[in-house]
Structure 1
Amino acid sequence: MRETVQILKEQAQHFRKIARIARYDQRAVYQSHYLGMIWEVLSPTLQVLIYYFVFGIRMNGAASMEAGVPYIVWMLAGVIPWFFISAIIVSGANSIYSNLNMVSRVKFPMSILPSITIFKSLYSYATMLVILLGFLLVNHIFPTIYWTQFFYYFVCMCLFLYAVSLFNATITILFRDYQLIISSAMRLLFFVSGAVVDVTANPDSLLTKILKLNPFVYIIEGFRDSFFSRQWFFEEPWWTAYFWGVTLLVLGVGSILHLRFKDRFMDYL
Protein backbone atom coordinates (compact mmCIF):
# COMPACT_ATOMS: atom_id res chain seq x y z
CA MET A 1 0.00 0.00 0.00
CA ARG A 2 2.83 2.38 0.88
CA GLU A 3 4.50 1.73 -2.47
CA THR A 4 1.27 2.42 -4.37
CA VAL A 5 0.78 5.74 -2.58
CA GLN A 6 4.37 6.74 -3.37
CA ILE A 7 3.95 5.94 -7.07
CA LEU A 8 0.67 7.90 -7.30
CA LYS A 9 2.27 10.87 -5.52
CA GLU A 10 5.03 10.91 -8.12
CA GLN A 11 2.41 11.15 -10.89
CA ALA A 12 0.70 14.10 -9.18
CA GLN A 13 3.96 15.92 -8.38
CA HIS A 14 5.26 15.63 -11.94
CA PHE A 15 1.96 16.12 -13.78
CA ARG A 16 3.13 19.19 -15.71
CA LYS A 17 6.34 17.46 -16.71
CA ILE A 18 4.37 14.44 -17.94
CA ALA A 19 2.13 16.64 -20.11
CA ARG A 20 5.06 18.66 -21.47
CA ILE A 21 7.21 15.66 -22.40
CA ALA A 22 4.21 13.88 -23.96
CA ARG A 23 3.46 16.91 -26.11
CA TYR A 24 7.07 17.12 -27.29
CA ASP A 25 7.33 13.39 -28.04
CA GLN A 26 4.07 13.42 -29.96
CA ARG A 27 5.25 16.20 -32.25
CA ALA A 28 8.67 14.59 -32.70
CA VAL A 29 7.16 11.32 -33.97
CA TYR A 30 5.51 12.95 -37.00
CA GLN A 31 7.78 15.92 -37.71
CA SER A 32 9.38 14.19 -40.73
CA HIS A 33 6.01 13.14 -42.24
CA TYR A 34 4.15 15.33 -44.72
CA LEU A 35 0.76 14.60 -43.17
CA GLY A 36 2.13 15.00 -39.65
CA MET A 37 -0.33 14.28 -36.85
CA ILE A 38 -3.10 13.55 -39.36
CA TRP A 39 -1.76 10.00 -39.22
CA GLU A 40 -3.03 9.83 -35.62
CA VAL A 41 -6.54 9.75 -37.11
CA LEU A 42 -5.95 8.37 -40.61
CA SER A 43 -4.39 5.10 -39.43
CA PRO A 44 -7.20 4.07 -37.02
CA THR A 45 -9.82 5.21 -39.53
CA LEU A 46 -8.45 2.80 -42.14
CA GLN A 47 -8.49 0.00 -39.57
CA VAL A 48 -12.11 0.80 -38.67
CA LEU A 49 -13.10 0.48 -42.33
CA ILE A 50 -11.38 -2.90 -42.57
CA TYR A 51 -13.04 -4.17 -39.37
CA TYR A 52 -16.44 -2.97 -40.56
CA PHE A 53 -16.04 -4.75 -43.88
CA VAL A 54 -14.84 -8.01 -42.28
CA PHE A 55 -17.06 -8.20 -39.20
CA GLY A 56 -20.00 -6.00 -40.14
CA ILE A 57 -20.53 -6.96 -43.77
CA ARG A 58 -18.77 -10.25 -44.48
CA MET A 59 -19.61 -11.86 -41.11
CA ASN A 60 -23.01 -10.15 -40.83
CA GLY A 61 -22.31 -8.66 -37.42
CA ALA A 62 -25.30 -6.36 -37.74
CA ALA A 63 -27.66 -9.34 -37.37
CA SER A 64 -26.84 -9.66 -33.67
CA MET A 65 -27.11 -5.97 -32.81
CA GLU A 66 -29.60 -4.51 -30.38
CA ALA A 67 -32.50 -2.59 -31.89
CA GLY A 68 -31.84 1.00 -32.86
CA VAL A 69 -28.03 0.80 -32.84
CA PRO A 70 -26.35 0.33 -36.25
CA TYR A 71 -23.38 -2.03 -36.22
CA ILE A 72 -20.94 0.65 -37.35
CA VAL A 73 -21.86 2.84 -34.35
CA TRP A 74 -21.78 -0.11 -31.93
CA MET A 75 -18.40 -1.14 -33.30
CA LEU A 76 -16.93 2.36 -33.09
CA ALA A 77 -17.93 2.61 -29.43
CA GLY A 78 -15.78 -0.46 -28.77
CA VAL A 79 -12.98 -0.12 -31.32
CA ILE A 80 -12.05 3.46 -30.38
CA PRO A 81 -11.21 2.64 -26.75
CA TRP A 82 -9.56 -0.59 -27.94
CA PHE A 83 -7.17 1.38 -30.19
CA PHE A 84 -6.24 3.49 -27.17
CA ILE A 85 -5.91 0.46 -24.86
CA SER A 86 -3.83 -1.68 -27.22
CA ALA A 87 -1.48 1.18 -28.13
CA ILE A 88 -0.83 1.95 -24.47
CA ILE A 89 -0.33 -1.68 -23.44
CA VAL A 90 2.20 -2.35 -26.21
CA SER A 91 4.15 0.92 -26.01
CA GLY A 92 3.79 1.21 -22.24
CA ALA A 93 5.56 -2.10 -21.74
CA ASN A 94 8.62 -0.64 -23.44
CA SER A 95 8.31 2.87 -21.98
CA ILE A 96 11.04 2.52 -19.34
CA TYR A 97 13.49 0.38 -21.30
CA SER A 98 13.44 2.67 -24.36
CA ASN A 99 14.12 5.75 -22.21
CA LEU A 100 16.75 4.44 -19.78
CA ASN A 101 19.52 6.45 -21.43
CA MET A 102 17.50 9.65 -21.15
CA VAL A 103 16.59 8.95 -17.52
CA SER A 104 20.26 8.47 -16.67
CA ARG A 105 20.95 12.05 -17.83
CA VAL A 106 17.79 13.80 -16.60
CA LYS A 107 16.59 13.70 -13.01
CA PHE A 108 12.96 12.53 -12.74
CA PRO A 109 11.23 9.37 -11.50
CA MET A 110 10.99 6.54 -14.00
CA SER A 111 7.46 5.79 -12.81
CA ILE A 112 6.13 8.71 -14.87
CA LEU A 113 7.23 7.16 -18.17
CA PRO A 114 4.09 4.97 -18.50
CA SER A 115 2.00 8.09 -17.78
CA ILE A 116 3.77 9.92 -20.60
CA THR A 117 2.82 7.07 -22.93
CA ILE A 118 -0.84 7.48 -21.96
CA PHE A 119 -0.78 11.25 -22.43
CA LYS A 120 0.79 10.93 -25.89
CA SER A 121 -2.22 8.95 -27.12
CA LEU A 122 -4.89 11.27 -25.72
CA TYR A 123 -4.94 13.51 -28.82
CA SER A 124 -5.82 10.70 -31.24
CA TYR A 125 -8.30 9.25 -28.75
CA ALA A 126 -10.09 12.60 -28.36
CA THR A 127 -10.20 13.06 -32.13
CA MET A 128 -11.71 9.62 -32.65
CA LEU A 129 -14.29 10.37 -29.93
CA VAL A 130 -15.41 13.39 -31.93
CA ILE A 131 -15.90 11.12 -34.94
CA LEU A 132 -17.93 8.71 -32.78
CA LEU A 133 -20.04 11.60 -31.53
CA GLY A 134 -20.80 12.55 -35.13
CA PHE A 135 -21.93 8.99 -35.92
CA LEU A 136 -24.12 8.92 -32.80
CA LEU A 137 -25.90 12.16 -33.69
CA VAL A 138 -26.34 11.22 -37.34
CA ASN A 139 -28.03 8.00 -36.22
CA HIS A 140 -30.32 9.91 -33.81
CA ILE A 141 -28.58 8.67 -30.66
CA PHE A 142 -28.62 11.80 -28.53
CA PRO A 143 -26.98 12.61 -25.16
CA THR A 144 -28.73 11.46 -21.99
CA ILE A 145 -27.82 11.51 -18.31
CA TYR A 146 -26.09 8.14 -18.85
CA TRP A 147 -23.42 9.87 -20.91
CA THR A 148 -21.99 11.43 -17.74
CA GLN A 149 -20.60 8.07 -16.65
CA PHE A 150 -18.24 8.23 -19.62
CA PHE A 151 -15.89 10.13 -17.31
CA TYR A 152 -16.04 7.32 -14.75
CA TYR A 153 -15.08 4.72 -17.35
CA PHE A 154 -12.39 7.01 -18.75
CA VAL A 155 -10.78 7.19 -15.29
CA CYS A 156 -11.13 3.40 -14.99
CA MET A 157 -9.40 2.95 -18.33
CA CYS A 158 -6.50 5.32 -17.62
CA LEU A 159 -5.81 3.98 -14.13
CA PHE A 160 -5.96 0.37 -15.27
CA LEU A 161 -3.68 1.12 -18.23
CA TYR A 162 -1.19 2.85 -15.95
CA ALA A 163 -1.22 -0.09 -13.52
CA VAL A 164 -0.67 -2.64 -16.30
CA SER A 165 1.95 -0.47 -18.05
CA LEU A 166 3.97 0.04 -14.85
CA PHE A 167 3.91 -3.70 -14.16
CA ASN A 168 4.74 -4.64 -17.77
CA ALA A 169 7.47 -2.01 -18.10
CA THR A 170 9.22 -3.39 -15.03
CA ILE A 171 8.97 -7.02 -16.17
CA THR A 172 10.17 -6.05 -19.66
CA ILE A 173 13.39 -4.67 -18.18
CA LEU A 174 14.04 -7.93 -16.33
CA PHE A 175 12.88 -10.24 -19.14
CA ARG A 176 13.12 -8.76 -22.64
CA ASP A 177 11.07 -11.51 -24.32
CA TYR A 178 8.08 -10.32 -22.31
CA GLN A 179 7.57 -7.50 -24.83
CA LEU A 180 6.99 -10.04 -27.61
CA ILE A 181 4.61 -12.02 -25.41
CA ILE A 182 2.53 -8.88 -24.82
CA SER A 183 2.32 -8.09 -28.54
CA SER A 184 1.07 -11.61 -29.28
CA ALA A 185 -1.38 -11.57 -26.38
CA MET A 186 -2.94 -8.30 -27.54
CA ARG A 187 -3.78 -9.85 -30.91
CA LEU A 188 -5.74 -12.56 -29.13
CA LEU A 189 -7.37 -10.18 -26.66
CA PHE A 190 -8.72 -8.11 -29.54
CA PHE A 191 -11.20 -10.89 -30.39
CA VAL A 192 -12.29 -11.64 -26.81
CA SER A 193 -12.55 -8.08 -25.46
CA GLY A 194 -15.78 -7.13 -27.23
CA ALA A 195 -14.36 -4.54 -29.62
CA VAL A 196 -15.93 -5.99 -32.78
CA VAL A 197 -17.85 -9.02 -31.47
CA ASP A 198 -20.51 -8.89 -28.75
CA VAL A 199 -19.03 -11.14 -26.04
CA THR A 200 -21.88 -10.41 -23.60
CA ALA A 201 -24.76 -11.38 -25.90
CA ASN A 202 -25.65 -14.40 -23.73
CA PRO A 203 -25.22 -13.16 -20.14
CA ASP A 204 -26.21 -16.49 -18.55
CA SER A 205 -23.70 -18.62 -20.44
CA LEU A 206 -20.50 -19.86 -18.78
CA LEU A 207 -18.39 -18.51 -21.66
CA THR A 208 -19.76 -15.00 -21.17
CA LYS A 209 -19.01 -15.14 -17.45
CA ILE A 210 -15.44 -16.22 -18.21
CA LEU A 211 -14.96 -13.50 -20.84
CA LYS A 212 -16.24 -10.86 -18.39
CA LEU A 213 -13.24 -11.63 -16.18
CA ASN A 214 -11.25 -9.68 -18.79
CA PRO A 215 -11.05 -6.08 -17.44
CA PHE A 216 -11.04 -4.74 -21.01
CA VAL A 217 -14.59 -6.04 -21.44
CA TYR A 218 -15.68 -4.03 -18.39
CA ILE A 219 -14.24 -0.84 -19.89
CA ILE A 220 -15.49 -1.33 -23.46
CA GLU A 221 -18.99 -2.41 -22.41
CA GLY A 222 -19.01 0.49 -19.95
CA PHE A 223 -18.52 2.99 -22.75
CA ARG A 224 -21.35 1.35 -24.66
CA ASP A 225 -23.55 1.48 -21.55
CA SER A 226 -22.87 5.21 -21.44
CA PHE A 227 -23.39 6.16 -25.08
CA PHE A 228 -26.33 3.82 -25.68
CA SER A 229 -27.97 4.69 -22.32
CA ARG A 230 -28.22 1.04 -21.27
CA GLN A 231 -27.44 1.02 -17.55
CA TRP A 232 -25.38 2.59 -14.74
CA PHE A 233 -22.10 1.11 -13.61
CA PHE A 234 -23.42 0.56 -10.08
CA GLU A 235 -26.11 -1.76 -11.45
CA GLU A 236 -23.31 -4.34 -11.81
CA PRO A 237 -21.78 -4.08 -8.30
CA TRP A 238 -19.89 -7.37 -8.33
CA TRP A 239 -18.39 -6.74 -11.77
CA THR A 240 -17.36 -3.24 -10.68
CA ALA A 241 -15.82 -4.57 -7.45
CA TYR A 242 -13.95 -7.23 -9.43
CA PHE A 243 -12.55 -4.66 -11.87
CA TRP A 244 -11.29 -2.35 -9.13
CA GLY A 245 -9.90 -5.30 -7.20
CA VAL A 246 -7.85 -6.41 -10.22
CA THR A 247 -6.74 -2.83 -10.96
CA LEU A 248 -5.53 -2.17 -7.41
CA LEU A 249 -3.84 -5.57 -7.24
CA VAL A 250 -1.91 -4.99 -10.48
CA LEU A 251 -1.03 -1.44 -9.41
CA GLY A 252 0.15 -2.66 -6.02
CA VAL A 253 2.32 -5.46 -7.42
CA GLY A 254 3.66 -3.18 -10.16
CA SER A 255 4.55 -0.48 -7.62
CA ILE A 256 6.40 -2.93 -5.38
CA LEU A 257 8.38 -4.43 -8.27
CA HIS A 258 9.18 -1.02 -9.74
CA LEU A 259 10.50 0.44 -6.49
CA ARG A 260 12.45 -2.72 -5.70
CA PHE A 261 14.29 -2.89 -9.02
CA LYS A 262 14.43 0.73 -10.25
CA ASP A 263 17.96 1.33 -8.95
CA ARG A 264 19.19 -1.71 -10.87
CA PHE A 265 17.49 -1.02 -14.21
CA MET A 266 20.68 0.32 -15.79
CA ASP A 267 22.36 -3.05 -15.12
CA TYR A 268 19.97 -4.68 -17.59
CA LEU A 269 20.89 -2.47 -20.55
Structure 2
Amino acid sequence: MDDNEILDQLHKAGEAVGHKTLQQRCKFSDNRYEVSRKNLIAKKLAVTVAGGRGSLSLTDDGKAVPSATVKESLLYGPLCDVPLKDWKQTLGHVPIVVDNTAMQGGRVTGGRWTRPDLVSVGLESFDYVPHLSMDVSSVEVKSFVSVDIAAVYEALAHRRASTRAWVFFYIPPHLEVATENQVFEVCSVVGESGIGVVTFGDPRNTATWRVKQRPSRVVTDPALLNDFIKVQMSETAKDQIRAKVAQIKRGGEEGVASLDLEE
Protein backbone atom coordinates (compact mmCIF):
# COMPACT_ATOMS: atom_id res chain seq x y z
CA MET A 1 0.00 0.00 0.00
CA ASP A 2 2.88 2.41 -0.73
CA ASP A 3 0.73 4.39 -3.18
CA ASN A 4 -1.89 4.80 -0.47
CA GLU A 5 0.70 6.19 1.95
CA ILE A 6 1.74 8.88 -0.52
CA LEU A 7 -1.90 9.74 -1.25
CA ASP A 8 -2.51 9.98 2.48
CA GLN A 9 0.36 12.43 2.94
CA LEU A 10 -0.81 14.57 0.02
CA HIS A 11 -4.35 14.68 1.44
CA LYS A 12 -2.99 15.77 4.82
CA ALA A 13 -0.83 18.48 3.25
CA GLY A 14 -3.64 19.85 1.08
CA GLU A 15 -1.10 21.18 -1.42
CA ALA A 16 1.89 20.12 -3.50
CA VAL A 17 4.75 18.56 -1.52
CA GLY A 18 8.39 18.40 -2.59
CA HIS A 19 9.55 14.93 -3.64
CA LYS A 20 12.29 14.76 -1.00
CA THR A 21 9.97 15.94 1.77
CA LEU A 22 7.25 13.51 0.71
CA GLN A 23 9.72 10.65 0.54
CA GLN A 24 10.96 11.43 4.06
CA ARG A 25 7.42 11.66 5.47
CA CYS A 26 6.62 8.24 4.00
CA LYS A 27 10.00 6.84 5.13
CA PHE A 28 10.57 5.32 1.68
CA SER A 29 13.82 4.46 -0.07
CA ASP A 30 14.60 6.24 -3.37
CA ASN A 31 13.42 3.30 -5.45
CA ARG A 32 10.31 2.68 -3.37
CA TYR A 33 9.23 6.30 -3.66
CA GLU A 34 9.94 6.42 -7.38
CA VAL A 35 7.84 3.33 -8.11
CA SER A 36 4.83 4.71 -6.21
CA ARG A 37 5.22 8.18 -7.71
CA LYS A 38 5.08 6.71 -11.22
CA ASN A 39 2.10 4.52 -10.29
CA LEU A 40 0.07 7.49 -9.04
CA ILE A 41 0.90 9.56 -12.11
CA ALA A 42 -0.04 6.66 -14.43
CA LYS A 43 -3.40 6.37 -12.66
CA LYS A 44 -3.91 10.14 -12.98
CA LEU A 45 -4.19 10.52 -9.21
CA ALA A 46 -1.13 12.76 -8.90
CA VAL A 47 0.99 14.99 -11.09
CA THR A 48 4.53 16.34 -10.86
CA VAL A 49 4.74 20.11 -10.39
CA ALA A 50 7.80 21.88 -11.79
CA GLY A 51 10.03 24.12 -9.71
CA GLY A 52 13.09 23.40 -7.64
CA ARG A 53 13.58 19.64 -7.42
CA GLY A 54 9.94 19.15 -8.27
CA SER A 55 6.87 18.42 -6.20
CA LEU A 56 3.95 16.04 -6.29
CA SER A 57 0.36 17.25 -6.19
CA LEU A 58 -3.05 15.57 -6.26
CA THR A 59 -5.07 15.76 -9.48
CA ASP A 60 -8.82 16.40 -9.35
CA ASP A 61 -9.34 12.62 -9.40
CA GLY A 62 -6.94 12.20 -6.50
CA LYS A 63 -8.69 14.92 -4.51
CA ALA A 64 -12.09 13.32 -5.18
CA VAL A 65 -11.14 10.18 -3.28
CA PRO A 66 -10.79 10.72 0.50
CA SER A 67 -7.72 8.83 1.71
CA ALA A 68 -9.79 6.87 4.25
CA THR A 69 -11.81 5.21 1.49
CA VAL A 70 -8.63 3.80 -0.03
CA LYS A 71 -7.97 1.52 2.94
CA GLU A 72 -8.72 -2.07 2.00
CA SER A 73 -9.79 -3.01 5.52
CA LEU A 74 -12.85 -0.75 5.13
CA LEU A 75 -14.03 -2.86 2.19
CA TYR A 76 -14.15 -6.28 3.88
CA GLY A 77 -17.22 -5.67 6.03
CA PRO A 78 -19.41 -4.20 3.27
CA LEU A 79 -18.54 -7.09 0.94
CA CYS A 80 -19.50 -9.62 3.63
CA ASP A 81 -22.77 -7.75 4.25
CA VAL A 82 -23.96 -8.35 0.68
CA PRO A 83 -26.94 -10.79 0.72
CA LEU A 84 -25.70 -14.29 -0.09
CA LYS A 85 -28.11 -14.68 -3.02
CA ASP A 86 -26.51 -11.63 -4.67
CA TRP A 87 -23.16 -13.45 -4.89
CA LYS A 88 -24.55 -15.98 -7.35
CA GLN A 89 -23.89 -13.96 -10.49
CA THR A 90 -20.22 -13.63 -9.54
CA LEU A 91 -19.49 -17.02 -7.96
CA GLY A 92 -21.90 -19.08 -10.05
CA HIS A 93 -23.71 -20.36 -6.95
CA VAL A 94 -25.21 -19.06 -3.72
CA PRO A 95 -22.64 -19.56 -0.95
CA ILE A 96 -23.36 -20.92 2.51
CA VAL A 97 -21.28 -18.12 3.97
CA VAL A 98 -18.85 -15.34 3.00
CA ASP A 99 -16.48 -14.73 5.90
CA ASN A 100 -14.11 -11.87 6.72
CA THR A 101 -10.89 -13.81 7.40
CA ALA A 102 -8.48 -10.87 7.27
CA MET A 103 -9.28 -9.43 10.69
CA GLN A 104 -8.04 -12.24 12.93
CA GLY A 105 -5.62 -10.31 15.09
CA GLY A 106 -2.52 -12.25 16.09
CA ARG A 107 -4.04 -15.68 15.54
CA VAL A 108 -1.55 -18.03 13.85
CA THR A 109 -2.69 -19.03 10.34
CA GLY A 110 0.54 -20.31 8.81
CA GLY A 111 2.79 -17.41 7.90
CA ARG A 112 2.98 -14.82 5.14
CA TRP A 113 0.28 -14.87 2.47
CA THR A 114 -1.66 -17.67 4.19
CA ARG A 115 -4.55 -15.47 5.30
CA PRO A 116 -6.95 -14.37 2.55
CA ASP A 117 -9.15 -11.33 3.07
CA LEU A 118 -12.42 -13.19 2.50
CA VAL A 119 -13.39 -16.85 2.15
CA SER A 120 -16.56 -18.06 0.49
CA VAL A 121 -17.81 -21.61 1.03
CA GLY A 122 -20.62 -23.03 -1.07
CA LEU A 123 -22.08 -26.18 -2.59
CA GLU A 124 -22.71 -26.71 -6.28
CA SER A 125 -25.10 -29.22 -7.80
CA PHE A 126 -25.20 -30.37 -11.43
CA ASP A 127 -27.85 -32.04 -13.56
CA TYR A 128 -25.64 -34.93 -14.68
CA VAL A 129 -23.26 -35.35 -11.74
CA PRO A 130 -24.67 -37.43 -8.86
CA HIS A 131 -22.98 -35.62 -6.01
CA LEU A 132 -22.53 -32.13 -4.61
CA SER A 133 -19.28 -30.30 -5.15
CA MET A 134 -17.88 -28.03 -2.43
CA ASP A 135 -16.46 -24.71 -3.54
CA VAL A 136 -14.01 -22.95 -1.22
CA SER A 137 -13.02 -19.62 -2.76
CA SER A 138 -10.34 -17.34 -1.36
CA VAL A 139 -10.65 -13.63 -2.12
CA GLU A 140 -7.94 -10.98 -2.05
CA VAL A 141 -9.38 -7.45 -1.85
CA LYS A 142 -7.30 -4.58 -3.22
CA SER A 143 -7.94 -0.89 -3.75
CA PHE A 144 -7.30 0.99 -7.00
CA VAL A 145 -3.82 1.98 -5.83
CA SER A 146 -2.82 -1.71 -5.76
CA VAL A 147 -3.87 -2.91 -9.21
CA ASP A 148 -0.79 -4.98 -10.01
CA ILE A 149 0.41 -8.59 -10.27
CA ALA A 150 1.47 -8.73 -6.61
CA ALA A 151 -2.19 -9.40 -5.80
CA VAL A 152 -2.10 -12.38 -8.18
CA TYR A 153 0.82 -13.91 -6.29
CA GLU A 154 -1.07 -13.56 -3.02
CA ALA A 155 -4.14 -15.21 -4.51
CA LEU A 156 -2.01 -18.07 -5.88
CA ALA A 157 -0.59 -18.68 -2.41
CA HIS A 158 -4.12 -19.15 -1.03
CA ARG A 159 -5.30 -21.42 -3.84
CA ARG A 160 -3.15 -24.26 -2.55
CA ALA A 161 -5.86 -24.99 0.04
CA SER A 162 -8.94 -23.72 -1.79
CA THR A 163 -10.74 -24.65 -5.01
CA ARG A 164 -10.82 -21.18 -6.58
CA ALA A 165 -8.96 -17.93 -5.95
CA TRP A 166 -10.13 -14.42 -6.74
CA VAL A 167 -8.77 -10.87 -6.67
CA PHE A 168 -11.36 -8.11 -6.14
CA PHE A 169 -10.21 -4.59 -7.10
CA TYR A 170 -12.10 -1.60 -5.75
CA ILE A 171 -12.17 0.97 -8.56
CA PRO A 172 -14.47 4.00 -8.19
CA PRO A 173 -16.40 4.76 -11.42
CA HIS A 174 -14.47 7.96 -12.13
CA LEU A 175 -11.18 6.01 -12.09
CA GLU A 176 -12.19 3.18 -14.43
CA VAL A 177 -10.50 4.76 -17.46
CA ALA A 178 -7.37 5.71 -15.52
CA THR A 179 -6.87 2.10 -14.35
CA GLU A 180 -7.85 0.33 -17.59
CA ASN A 181 -4.29 -0.55 -18.56
CA GLN A 182 -3.39 -1.88 -15.11
CA VAL A 183 -6.49 -4.10 -15.01
CA PHE A 184 -5.72 -5.37 -18.52
CA GLU A 185 -2.15 -6.24 -17.53
CA VAL A 186 -3.35 -8.13 -14.45
CA CYS A 187 -5.90 -10.08 -16.51
CA SER A 188 -3.17 -10.99 -19.01
CA VAL A 189 -1.16 -12.56 -16.20
CA VAL A 190 -4.04 -14.34 -14.48
CA GLY A 191 -5.14 -15.83 -17.78
CA GLU A 192 -2.24 -18.25 -17.37
CA SER A 193 -2.54 -18.76 -13.61
CA GLY A 194 -6.30 -19.38 -13.39
CA ILE A 195 -7.01 -16.59 -10.86
CA GLY A 196 -10.38 -14.81 -11.09
CA VAL A 197 -10.54 -11.01 -11.33
CA VAL A 198 -13.44 -8.76 -10.33
CA THR A 199 -13.62 -4.97 -10.29
CA PHE A 200 -16.24 -3.17 -8.22
CA GLY A 201 -17.25 0.43 -7.67
CA ASP A 202 -19.45 -0.15 -4.62
CA PRO A 203 -18.81 -3.13 -2.31
CA ARG A 204 -22.48 -3.25 -1.27
CA ASN A 205 -23.94 -3.10 -4.79
CA THR A 206 -23.28 -6.14 -7.00
CA ALA A 207 -24.62 -4.21 -10.00
CA THR A 208 -21.23 -2.42 -9.98
CA TRP A 209 -19.26 -5.69 -9.88
CA ARG A 210 -17.59 -6.73 -13.14
CA VAL A 211 -16.10 -10.19 -13.62
CA LYS A 212 -13.06 -9.54 -15.79
CA GLN A 213 -11.70 -13.08 -15.58
CA ARG A 214 -13.30 -16.25 -14.24
CA PRO A 215 -11.06 -18.50 -12.14
CA SER A 216 -10.17 -22.08 -12.94
CA ARG A 217 -11.39 -24.68 -10.47
CA VAL A 218 -8.67 -26.88 -9.01
CA VAL A 219 -9.14 -30.28 -7.39
CA THR A 220 -7.98 -29.89 -3.82
CA ASP A 221 -7.43 -32.64 -1.25
CA PRO A 222 -10.54 -32.67 1.01
CA ALA A 223 -8.25 -32.77 4.04
CA LEU A 224 -6.64 -29.48 2.94
CA LEU A 225 -10.06 -27.90 2.41
CA ASN A 226 -11.16 -29.05 5.85
CA ASP A 227 -8.02 -27.65 7.50
CA PHE A 228 -8.31 -24.39 5.55
CA ILE A 229 -11.85 -23.85 6.83
CA LYS A 230 -10.86 -24.90 10.34
CA VAL A 231 -7.87 -22.54 10.54
CA GLN A 232 -9.04 -19.54 8.55
CA MET A 233 -12.71 -19.09 9.25
CA SER A 234 -14.60 -17.66 12.21
CA GLU A 235 -16.52 -19.87 14.63
CA THR A 236 -19.81 -18.41 13.38
CA ALA A 237 -18.96 -19.28 9.78
CA LYS A 238 -17.81 -22.77 10.73
CA ASP A 239 -21.08 -23.36 12.59
CA GLN A 240 -23.04 -22.42 9.47
CA ILE A 241 -21.00 -24.75 7.27
CA ARG A 242 -21.19 -27.55 9.83
CA ALA A 243 -24.98 -27.21 10.01
CA LYS A 244 -25.39 -27.36 6.23
CA VAL A 245 -23.10 -30.41 5.95
CA ALA A 246 -24.98 -32.15 8.79
CA GLN A 247 -28.27 -31.41 7.00
CA ILE A 248 -26.98 -33.13 3.88
CA LYS A 249 -25.65 -36.13 5.80
CA ARG A 250 -28.97 -36.60 7.60
CA GLY A 251 -30.94 -36.46 4.37
CA GLY A 252 -28.79 -38.88 2.39
CA GLU A 253 -29.47 -38.93 -1.35
CA GLU A 254 -33.05 -37.71 -0.90
CA GLY A 255 -31.81 -34.86 1.28
CA VAL A 256 -29.27 -33.83 -1.35
CA ALA A 257 -31.91 -33.90 -4.08
CA SER A 258 -34.31 -31.74 -2.10
CA LEU A 259 -31.75 -29.40 -0.57
CA ASP A 260 -32.36 -25.80 -1.52
CA LEU A 261 -28.87 -24.35 -1.84
CA GLU A 262 -30.16 -20.88 -2.60
CA GLU A 263 -31.88 -20.20 0.72
TM range (shorter): under 0.3
* Greater share of strand: 2
The alignment's TM-score, normalised by the length of structure 2, stands at 0.25
Q: TM-score, normalised by structure 1?
A: 0.25
Higher helix share: 1
Answer with 1 or 2: which has the greater Rg.
2
